[in-house]
Structure 1
Amino acid sequence: MSKSLEEVNESVSTQNKTSIFRKILAFFGPAYLISVGYMDPGNWATDIAGGSQFGYSLIWVLLMSNIMALLLQSLSARLGIVTQRDLAQASRETYSPFINYILYFLAEVAIAACDLAEVLGMAIGINLLFGIPLIEGVVITVLDTFLLLFLINKGIRKMEAFILALVAIIGFSFVFEMFFAQPDVSQVVAGLVPSMPTDAALYIAIGIIGATVMPHNLYLHSSLVQTRKFDRSSKGIKQALKYNFLDSAIALNLAFFVNAAILILAAATFYKNGLFEVAEIQDAHQLLQPLLGTKWAPILFAVALIAAGQSSTITGTLAGQIIMEGYLNLRIQPWVRRIITRLIAIVPAVVVITVFGEGVTGKLLILSQVILSLQLGFAIIPLIHFVSDKSKMKGFEIGKVTQIFSWIIALIIVSLNGKLVYDEIQGWLAISNHPTVLWFTVVPLAFGFLVLLLYIVFKPFIARQKDKVINHSPHNLNLNFSRIRAYRKKNIAIAVDFSDADEKAINSALELGGTEANYTLIHVVETIGALMYGNTVSDHETTIDQQLLAQYLEILEAKGFKIETKLGFGKPNSVIPTIINEGNFDILVMGTHGHTGLKDILFGTTVDKLRHKISIPLFIVRK
């Protein structure tokens, strides 16, 4: 299986550092690349709209979003550190191809929405600073493709340093903006108390959540932590988890400061002066100088905006690469991938600006963030399942308390999004001249996504119950042995599936071979992961099957038989013949019941394919 971001995977060594400080410093970096996604132009739009319309009252939404982000990003980092899989790869190993194609499509929609915000933000910044028209600024943003290629070729540390420099520019710009604005500290503190001024504030609040807890960042973080090479012992993994959490806490709190500064700036200038409808970044820029009385305020604002757009577009590109390679196992040239992603964002931006004018960019930015928020559930829920799975996490799964908090966060986000979608569809139906069209298009689509959401919520729970009930419990391994006859066959292969049919198959094989024969127990893992990755798969069923095969071995060796085991991966009618033909067997013995794949082999037409693929007799034992 290919590694996530293979060109920089484990490229930064954290070992052999002379001091604790240097060791911690070696782990620092991934979260700063993540943090820029929390202060991109989409955040600016929602923060400016929130601050100008509702003053300081939505600061608590930013704080809540930051706490959510810290927990979720720590889960994402944990997945990458422990399993050496990113979120997209883990999804591909777990869900069927059909479900994965849908999840991939939704992730790409989120990337496109995010990229749209970055394109508009950079174009607006270029327009404000240099006076270049917005359409031309949008086209210029294609050039950052080459900057990304240059940075990735220089190594992940150089890229992290560049991003950190841009983050520092943003941070310092807003330190000065706060000095110019002089906000009311008591009202800032009051804004930390949860409240929802109007129904319209919900739309902005969901946009803030979508802009802060960004779905593509969850994919990105699970990959970026794998750029660190560290001791893979239990102690080394614990240390990596601790240092990465510290990295995330510092970086995301810095992002919270920037977001809060933008909202506070809007509240202290626009809301305070009765300018409640400032939603466009351009309007905010033009009003800063007369309201704050300094020419530096709008300049710093534009510089910070360009830095935010440029830094977040780099990380968005990496996320797009991770999602495509993880879900589809498809690698294309980075510059091709970058141009495709950028064009997906540029085309709608150019069309909308051309048709409706530059005055709609603020609404377009907020819409892009709401789209991000709507996609969050499809990234968060699988992530929580994966880091709660004992077989995947190998002792590093999250505890019950963390699971509860994680599910509460998922419930809050999904519930808010559900209310938003319901309200929006109701509004469309009320004002539409053709509501029937909406009933046959938008409503079924929304219902379909609800069904998908419920599926990814409950499917892992059902799968775990099946693992416990069907063929995956040690009490099913009690075998009653029949009378052993004289030696007849020398090397006997036995296909097992951990069902009650194994008893007949094994006894029949032992009758054929006696105590002097050599026996090989063969089992084929048929999960989606096994089909995709072969013997490199590391999923729950593979772990259980390995344990059960080992228990069969122990039971039969205790009886005095000479036993070996073979674990195959993929389709039984292909894998079993390969094992048989590569070995030196006299006969293959198979039972009649078990997993779907074996039942198909025994009772379906594939039994003929298996029989013709092996050069030894096939002995089918009926229950």
Structure 2
Amino acid sequence: MSIKEIVKLFGPAWIVMMADVDAASVLTGVANGQEYGYKLIWLLLLLIIPLYVIQEAAGRLGAVNNGKGLGEIIREKFSGKTALLASLSMFVVDLFTYVVEYVGIAVGGLVLGIPPYISLPIFFILHVTVISTKRYEKIEKFLISVSLVMIFAFIVQAILRGIVTNQSIFYISTSKSFTFLVAANIGAVIMPFMIFYQASATSYKYQDSYSSLENKVKWSSAETLIGALVSELLMVAIEMATTGLSPSVDPLNYKEMSYALSLISGPYSPYIFGIGLISSAFLALIVESLGSVWGTLESLGKKDFRSFLSLYLAESIPALIIVLLFTNNYDNVVNFALTLMSISPFVLAIPAILVGILVRDRNIMMDYAYGKGRMVVYWITLVLIIMGGVIAII
């Protein structure tokens, strides 16, 4: 493939993988560092595999079916009811995911000295402006820029912290706290919106490319692998950057977090962390909204902008109001949202199973359908992810 082709095709897989490092993931990474230091690095690196396996299938499906989103493909292959079951269940979960992202923006803003009643409306308006852009290419350029800010912030944060010596990068325990954190990391590695976003964004993006189908499939796979590597390495950076923080420090208490970070990483560290948290939450907020609304409208057979904006506002405004109303109780808000989000592995199972069936179908995938061996790997991976979510709930 030429560099020109790669530049033309680059975007969907990278963006969704960077959006995987959302506010909830950042908080999980902080918990990893606080509780176990470097001891969960092995797990984060291992999670590259399931992240790649599931998302590669979604990207491949989008690459082959130019112009058709995942919701539309499911509706045509199965039924409208099946498509709605997959998309609307995701839509409900995303409402609570929005809450966590807005909390991330609020806390990051407070670290930078910006109160929530200023930061949240600003980012809400910016969010509406971005998703109201009717050309996907313009949205994508903005999202790539935000992802680079996030990457820069968390890498700098890890550099400021420096390497902590005498740290083991491998540890296994049967303790309840350890197994819960492991299960939480596994259960959160892939969210339902990621499958819908990558399949649909790849389809929409690739339909304007004159590259061969073979090159499209190859690049989608390669970009997914690159994105999975960078995504989990960012999680490693967050874990390393917060190693040494006392487990008693509340990441949602900006005063505690700022003071603790400044002690171990210097006076500029809290501001870098705030920028990273805001950019990660904002990036995820946009990608979640696009994946959720695309999937629902595709399932309904609607693509008009009025329906798009109405669905987005139906999710985003309630989440925004909740976060604005409970500015002094972010712990309770996030814990409540995460409790409701604990059903995500089960919601993930619906579109993931459908993608598994579709990517094996030669009538849809032609020569790019998965073979038996690859399907075995796919189903085993999906079962392990769901089991991780189940353990986290228990």
TM-score using structure 1 length: 0.58
1:317, 1:338 within 8 Å by CA — same for their partners in 2? Answer: yes
Which structure features the higher share of helix residues?
2
* Secondary structure, aligned partner of 1:178: helix
Change (3 A) 1:67 1:96: same
Aligned residue pairs total 387
CA contact (8 A) 1:81 1:240 kept: yes
Distance of 2:43 and 2:340 partners within structure 1: 18
Equivalent residues in 2 for 1:140-219 (5 A)?
140-149=122-131, 152-153=133-134, 155-184=135-164, 187=167, 190-191=168-169, 193=170, 195-196=172-173, 198-219=175-196
Task: Output one character per residue of 1:257-281: Cα deviation in whole Å (capped at 9) or x when no partner.
Answer: 2211112222x221xxxx1233524
- Give the whole-Å Cα distance in 1 for the aligned partners of 2:361 and 2:199: 16
* Aligned counterparts of 2:57 and 2:166: Cα–Cα separation in 1: 35
CA distance in structure 1 between the partners assigned to 2:229 and 2:185 by the alignment: 16
- Whether 1:315 aligns to 2:287 is yes
Superposed counterparts of 1:264-283, under 5 Å: 264-266=240-242, 268-270=243-245, 275-281=246-252, 282=254, 283=256
Q: Point out which structure has higher relative CO (alpha carbons under 8 A, 6+ apart).
A: 2
Q: Is the 8 A contact 1:279 1:363 kept in 2?
A: no
Find 2:218's aligned residue among 242, 246, 251.
Answer: 242
* CA-to-aligned-CA distance 1:81-124 (integer Å, 9 cap, x gap): 22333322222234444444332331112322322222111111
Further displaced range: 361-370 or 391-400:
361-370
Q: Which residue of 2 aligns with 1:566?
A: none
Question: Structure 1's 369 and 56: CA in aligned 2 closer, same or farther, altered over 3 A?
Answer: farther
1:290 counterpart = 2:263: yes
Cα distance between partner residues in 2 of 1:130 and 1:261: 24
Distance 1:250 1:416 in 2: 24
Deviation at 1:384, TM superposition (A): 0.9
Q: Superposed, which structure 2 residues align to 1:63-212 within 5 Å? A: 63-84=45-66, 85-132=68-115, 134=116, 137-149=119-131, 152-153=133-134, 155-184=135-164, 187=167, 190-191=168-169, 193=170, 195-196=172-173, 198-212=175-189
Q: Which amino acid aligns with 1:106?
A: S
Change (3 A) 1:105 1:156: closer
Q: Deviation of residue 69 (structure 1)?
A: 1.2
- When Rg is computed on C-alpha atoms for both structures, the one with the higher figure is 1
Matches of 2:35 and 2:337 in 1, distance apart? 16
Higher strand content, 1 or 2: 1
**Match of residue 309 from structure 2:** 335
Change (3 A) 1:99 1:250: closer
Shift of 1:141: 3.8
* Structure-to-structure mapping, 1:359-378, within 5 angstroms: 359-361=331-333, 363-364=335-336, 366-367=338-339, 370-378=342-350
Q: What's 2:372 paired with?
A: 400
* Amino acid across the alignment from 1:259: M
Separation in 2 of the partners of 1:251 and 1:284? 29
Query: Partners of 2:40 and 2:32 in 1: how far apart?
Result: 7
Cα-to-partner distance string for 1:358-384 (whole Å, 9 max, x where unaligned)? 343553564465343342212211111
CA 1:80–1:359: 2 relative to 1, 3 Å: closer
3-state SS in 1 of match to 2:368 = coil
Deviation at 1:313, TM superposition (A): 1.6
Distance 2:18 2:341 in 1: 15
Deviation at 1:408, TM superposition (A): 0.8
1:320–1:278 Cα change, 3 Å? same
Is the contact between residue 119 and residue 309 of structure 1 (CA under 8 Å) also seen in structure 2? yes
Aligned counterparts of 2:161 and 2:392: Cα–Cα separation in 1: 33
Please tell me whether the aligned partners of residues 269 and 291 of structure 1 are also in contact (alpha carbons under 8 angstroms).
Answer: yes
2:137 partner amino acid: R
Which of residues 297, 300, 303 is equivalent to 1:325? Answer: 297
Q: Alpha carbon RMSD of aligned pairs, Å?
A: 2.6
The alpha-carbon distance between structure 1 residues 316 and 128, as it changes in their structure 2 partners (threshold 3 A), is same
In structure 1, which of residues 286, 293, 305 is the aligned counterpart of residue 277 of structure 2?
Answer: 305
CA contact (8 A) 1:31 1:221 kept: yes
Aligned in 2, Cα 1:420/1:253: closer, same or farther, shift over 3 Å?
closer
What do residues 210-242 of structure 1 show as CA deviations (whole Å, max 9, x unaligned)?
A: 43312111101111112123458xxx2111111
What is the one-letter code of the residue matched to 1:263?
E
Identify unmatched segments of 5+ residues in structure 2: none
Checking the alignment, whether the CA contact within 8 Å between 2:21 and 2:280 is kept in structure 1 is: yes
8 Å CA contact 2:192–2:347 kept in 1: the answer is: yes
Tell me which amino acid in the other structure corresponds to 2:186: I
**Pair 1:24 & 2:6 matched:** yes
Q: Does 1:252 align with 2:228?
A: yes
Quote the Cα distance in structure 1 between the aligned partners of 2:162 and 2:222.
31
Q: Provide the secondary structure at the position in 2 that maps to 1:304.
A: helix
Q: Distance in 1 between matches of 2:159 and 2:48?
A: 24
Q: Cα gap change, 1:328/1:253 in structure 2, threshold over 3 Å: closer, same or farther?
A: same
Separation in 2, partners of 1:372, 1:397 = 27
Q: For residue 418 of structure 1, what is the aligned residue in structure 2?
A: 390
Are the counterparts in 1 of residues 12 and 198 from structure 2 also a CA contact under 8 Å? yes
Q: CA deviation at 1:139?
A: 4.5
How far the C-alpha of 1:337 sits from its partner, in A, is 3.0
1:200 is aligned with what amino acid?
S
Q: Following TM superposition, by how much is the alpha carbon of 1:47 offset from its aligned partner in structure 2, in angstroms?
A: 1.2
2:355 corresponds to 1:383: yes
| Alignment of 1:409 onto 2:389 | no
Deviation digits for residues 558-596 of structure 1, max 9, x if unmatched? Answer: xxxxxxxxxxxxxxxxxxxxxxxxxxxxxxxxxxxxxxx
Distance 1:312 1:389, change over 3 A: same
Within 5 Å, which residues of 2 pair with 1:493-504?
none
What is the identity, as a one-letter code, of the residue corresponding to 1:269?
G
Q: TM-score, normalised by structure 2?
A: 0.88
Contact 1:203 1:420 in 2 (8 A): yes
The percentage of counterpart residues that share the same residue type is: 18
